[in-house]
Structure 1
Amino acid sequence: MSAALLSPRPSQLDRDAFIARYGDIYEHSPWIAAQAWELGLEAAQDTPAGLAERLREQVDAASANAQLALIRAHPDLAGKAAIGGKLTDDSRSEQAGAGLDQCTPAEFARFEQLNRAYRDRFDFPFVIAVRGLDRHAILAAFETRLNHTRKQERRTAIAQIHRIARLRLEQRAAESLNR
């Protein structure tokens, strides 16, 4: 999938068009795309892998506060935003793909309990790339990660956010092939 080209090609877009197309790859954080564009984009960034790496570099070079804001831009899994229909299109699709929109009342209650415990412990939401996982695997990961230190969880959350971004870029490349 990584050899596929993104369409439109990032290297051929002006700043506004690039941010409009790729500014939502990282949840509610178009500053990442803006900084990537400012560095200049070449043909190497026209693939999901190439653009993912360029965007990743911006996050990894960001301040701890900016990284924390990025983590906090993510919604709780199966939380109030999901129930209230306030997720981004990408988040809604990803959560539905993992079956989080089909939780039983007991599972919703468990997600609420774990979301609350996680936020109380780490002061940011639990972030996991849900594509390819089901709600049972997500709940198990939740419980495991509650045992991490705050430093471990910040690193894990950022790694998961990078994975989400890469998967979103790969999805867009696949969609452009199918048009």
Structure 2
Amino acid sequence: MDTVDKVNNLSKSDFISIFGNVFEKTSWISEKTYNLKPFLNFEALQKSFLSVYDKCNDKQYLEIFNSHPQLAIEKIMTEHSKKEQTQSKLDTCTKEELEEFIQLNHDYKKKFNFPFIIAVANLNKNEILDNFKQRINKNVSEEFEEAKIQVKKIATLRLNQILKK
């Protein structure tokens, strides 16, 4: 998308097709954002997406969190997640690293009731593991807030990628 006019002229189904995975497997956010058209510029589009997300209740946040794949071990992922994890080399884990990710994913999900979420762009697998080890020691409310922040970062990165910013 090279102009906001092109975005504003999209049909609802085309808009959802293009932006439906900005928030992992959560196309209803795109649907609500579509209803906020017209957008003055790309920044207004981004603010609209984030505003819809910020109005979620805790149950909706939890559903969004649980739409995210477990890092390094998930086999079936959206194209966005696959690309993001590949760029961070999570697809090249050694046996030991993979075992560590398996254990951390299990322990984290058991403690928080949602998968570990981090915007992996510009992070390597060691940095991701370090973050994992630090954040698993947080309390539930702190980590819930951190997951909300990370989802927004991921969505912003995806939106910028779609808009080629």
Alpha-carbon shift at residue 7 of structure 1 (Å): 7.3
Aligned to 1:155: 145
Alpha-carbon shift at residue 14 of structure 1 (Å): 2.0
Alpha-carbon shift at residue 42 of structure 1 (Å): 1.7
Alpha-carbon shift at residue 15 of structure 1 (Å): 1.3
Q: Aligned ranges for residues 1-179 of structure 1 at < 5 Å?
A: 5=2, 9-44=6-41, 47=42, 49-79=43-73, 81=74, 84=75, 86-174=76-164
Deviation string for 1:6-56 (max 9, x for gaps)? Answer: 578322212111111111111000000001112223222xx2x43222111
Deviation string for 1:37-92 (max 9, x for gaps)? Answer: 12223222xx2x4322211111110111111100110000001x2xx3x1111100
Give the whole-Å Cα distance in 2 for the aligned partners of 1:88 and 1:7. 25
Give the whole-Å Cα distance in 2 for the aligned partners of 1:61 and 1:151. 18
- Paired residues of 1:52 and 1:165 also in contact (CA < 8 A): no
Give the whole-Å Cα distance in 1 for the aligned partners of 2:127 and 2:5. 35
SS at match of 1:25: coil
Q: Residue type of the partner of 2:112? A: F
Gaps of 5+ in 2: none
Give the whole-Å Cα distance in 2 for the aligned partners of 1:10 and 1:115. 37
Give the whole-Å Cα distance in 2 for the aligned partners of 1:70 and 1:40. 23
Alpha-carbon shift at residue 162 of structure 1 (Å): 0.7
Give the whole-Å Cα distance in 2 for the aligned partners of 1:13 and 1:87. 26
Measured on the aligned residues, the alpha-carbon RMSD in Å equals 1.7
- Paired residues of 1:99 and 1:135 also in contact (CA < 8 A): yes
Give the whole-Å Cα distance in 2 for the aligned partners of 1:22 and 1:152. 29
Gaps of 5+ in 1: none
Alpha-carbon shift at residue 148 of structure 1 (Å): 1.1
Give the whole-Å Cα distance in 2 for the aligned partners of 1:101 and 1:149. 29
- Paired residues of 1:11 and 1:43 also in contact (CA < 8 A): no
- Paired residues of 1:6 and 1:172 also in contact (CA < 8 A): no
Give the whole-Å Cα distance in 1 for the aligned partners of 2:80 and 2:57. 26
SS at match of 2:35: helix
Give the whole-Å Cα distance in 2 for the aligned partners of 1:23 and 1:43. 20
SS at match of 2:84: helix
Alpha-carbon shift at residue 154 of structure 1 (Å): 1.1
TM-score normalised by L of structure 1: 0.86
Q: Residue type of the partner of 2:107? A: A
TM-score normalised by L of structure 2: 0.93
